[in-house]
Amino acid sequence: MAETGETTLPADDSDIKRMSFEDAIAALERIVSDLERGDVPLDRSIRIYERGEKLKNHCERLLSAAEDKVEKIKLGRSGKPTGTEPLDPG
């Protein structure tokens, strides 16, 4: 099926947990492309859609983890930066 440009699917989705954000986004973009083409059989469309949902959730978890590491800038009374603090102090 790779000859037609379709996404090659693994036997299960356990590989998703090991993907970097960039790899997961690339896989998700391939799935969207396959589905937008409109020539994918229904059973395969369902399977790749389900995989796409798992990839999207994985990306959201990775983004959330990255946000937790970001520091927000503290502003003084004058509106000028005075330092940083954790995004989510706690």
pLDDT, one tens digit per residue, over 12-65 is 899 999 999 999 999 999 999 999 999 999 999 999 999 999 999 999 999 988
Higher pLDDT, 89 or 84: 84
Query: Which domain covers residue 65, as residue numbers?
Result: 2-86
Q: How many CB atoms lie within 10 A of CB 6?
A: 18
Asked if the model's pLDDT at residue 1 lies above 90, the reply is no
Q: What is the pTM of this model?
A: 0.70
What confidence tier does 2 reach under pLDDT thresholds 50, 70, 90?
A: very low
Question: Which CATH number goes with the domain that contains 18?
Answer: 1.10.287
Number of domains in the chain: 1
